[in-house]
Amino acid sequence: MKHTLPLLATLAFAATLALAQQPPRPNPQQKAGKRPGDQRAQTNLRVGDTAPDFKLKTKDGDRDVQLASFRGKKPVVLVFGSYT
């Protein structure tokens, strides 16, 4: 009986260790990503980071637009989306 307490303490310690070693819980967005058709991707971007440069064509294909070309000139508002 005198061993019960240390044994409990050891078990509790082991349980804490096991919990600490568990991988981080998936956030809700990653969970949602498991839904078929959900193609949400995480980004490591944060406010204050340099916006990744890109060069894309307009929908008519008549003009290339490069984000970096506005640097030092104007702010740029980007609205990402699709039809559906």
Backbone angles phi, psi at 69, to 5 degrees: -70, -15
Counting contacts by CB under 8 A, is residue 28 touching another protein?
Answer: no
CB 67 within 8 A of CB 80: no
Counting contacts by CB under 8 A, is residue 46 touching another protein?
Answer: yes
Min CB(11)–another protein separation in Å: 42
Ramachandran assignment for 82, one of left (phi > 0), alpha (psi -120 to 50 degrees), beta (any other): beta
Min CB(5)–another protein separation in Å: 50
Give the interface with another protein as residue ranges (CB under 8 A): 29, 35-43, 45-54, 56-61, 65, 67-68, 70-84
